[in-house]
Structure 1
Amino acid sequence: MTLPEVLLWRCLRGGRAGGHKFRRQHAQGLFVIDFFCAEARLAVEVDGDVHGHPDQARRDQDRTRWLAEQGVRVMRVPARDILNEETRAGVIEAIVRAVAPSTPSGSPSPMNGGG
Structure 2
Amino acid sequence: MVTKNKKLKVLARNLRKDMTLSETLLWQYLRKGQMLGYRFRRQEVIGNYIVDFFCRKLRLAIEIDGSSHDEKYELDMKRQREIESYGITVLRFSDKEVKENIESVLRGIEVWIRSSTLPAN
Which range, TM-score by smaller chain?
0.7 to 0.9
Equivalent residues in 2 for 1:80-95, closer than 5 Å: 80-84=96-100, 87-95=101-109
Correspondence for 1:112: none
Correspondence for 1:67: 83
Q: Distance in 2 between matches of 1:98 and 1:20?
A: 13
Alpha-carbon distance, 1:2 to partner: 0.6
Identical pairs, percent: 35
Query: What SS does the aligned partner of 1:75 have?
Result: strand
Structure 1: which 5+ runs fail to align? 106-115
Alpha-carbon distance, 1:102 to partner: 2.8
Q: Distance in 2 between matches of 1:40 and 1:32?
A: 17
Structure 2: which 5+ runs fail to align? 1-18
Question: TM-score, length-normalised on structure 1?
Answer: 0.82
The equivalent position to 2:36 in structure 1, one of 7, 11, 18, is 18
Alpha-carbon distance, 1:9 to partner: 0.4
Structure 1 runs of 4+ aligned residues shifted over 3 Å read none
Query: What SS does the aligned partner of 1:24 have?
Result: strand
Correspondence for 2:23: 5
Deviations 1:87-110 (A, max 9, x none): 2111011112222313569xxxxx
Query: What SS does the aligned partner of 1:102 have?
Result: coil
1:29 has 2:47 as partner:
yes
Say what the alpha-carbon RMSD is for the aligned residues: 1.4
Question: TM-score, length-normalised on structure 2?
Answer: 0.78
Q: Distance in 2 between matches of 1:50 and 1:5?
A: 15
Q: Distance in 2 between matches of 1:31 and 1:88?
A: 25
The aligned length equals 101
